[in-house]
Amino acid sequence: MNQVSETPRPSVQWLEVTDANSEQRLDNFLIGFLKGVPKTRIYRMVRKGEVRVNKGRVDVSYKLVIGDIVRIPPVRVAEATDEVIVQPALKFSLENQILYEDDGFIVLNKPSGFAVHGGSGVSGGIIEALRQIRPQQKFLELVHRLDKETSGCLLIAKKRSALRVLHEMFRGDGIQKTYLALLAGQFKRKSQRVDVPLLKNVAQGGERMVVVSQAGKPAETLFTRLKAFREATLVHAAPKTGRTHQIRVHAAWLGHPIVGDDRYGEDNVNKAFKQRGYKRLFLHAEQLRFAHPLTGAPLHFNAPLPADLQTLLEHEETL
């Protein structure tokens, strides 16, 4: 159980806005800074003029600018003393998995088996581990997400300005993503575009699932055959949209679920592959292509397939 302590004798604070919070809404800035203070209290402080920006009243929707001075009134903040626990193995792994880094962002080769975001007081994920490794870095935020068992290219922003541009790219078609996936069975076609809508959070047997449904959101994935094996097919999967579990559900819809997919795959198929050494979901975020969010320069990143998966492929019987 978390033990809670209170900060003694609170006083007025004056905070100068830096790049880390530039263009962030005032309410979101306050919610992040005043952890433990109810949102209703925060909104009331702004409404009553207790919170001020550059000595003047502003609305909660005001977007902060570098150099703004924010007045925070005296308020007691309840703080949990428990820290997020991050596995030492994850910290060690991340130190050696950075594919690219500059002032704006990091491209990380995410290891399989770790969530991108952890839970407080339980276990930390990728972003919590990075923040612990780099306590001097004031701003580190996930740009997008990968499933726990998926490995490969993961973007982390180091500036809010970079985060904003990258988010816009992901919402549009500014980022080209290519995954490596091993599909169960023989995928006969050279390539196939799957364009069927997906509906998420449909309960099936107590488990939240994503399903193909006309009531869902548009989703499109291009599957391209790379290598045919006797019992499986290696493909490139290029999602044009970014729906939850999109590649996994689209692959299952084709009748060729991803090997090791315990949610959308087939139990007997997974069992057979597991006996041959496949102990995880065979899905790897191999490539990212996009223009640099701050300079516009074209970028291309490639995360090599993990050695364990590469070894398994080398033992597959080809056609």
Catalytic residues: 147
Closest CA to 285 of 116, 105, 164: 116
Q: How far is CA 241 from CA 54, 221, 286, in A?
A: 42, 7, 17
Helix (H, G, I), strand (E, B) or coil at 194: strand
CA 200 to CA 242: how far, in whole Å? 12
Q: How far is CA 37 from CA 30, 91, 103, in A?
A: 9, 31, 32
Helix (H, G, I), strand (E, B) or coil at 318: strand
CA 20 to CA 131: how far, in whole Å? 14
Using an 8 Å Cβ cutoff, are 247 and 283 in contact? yes
Quickly count: other Cβ atoms within 10 Å of residue 148's Cβ: 15
Closest CA to 148 of 125, 168, 132: 125
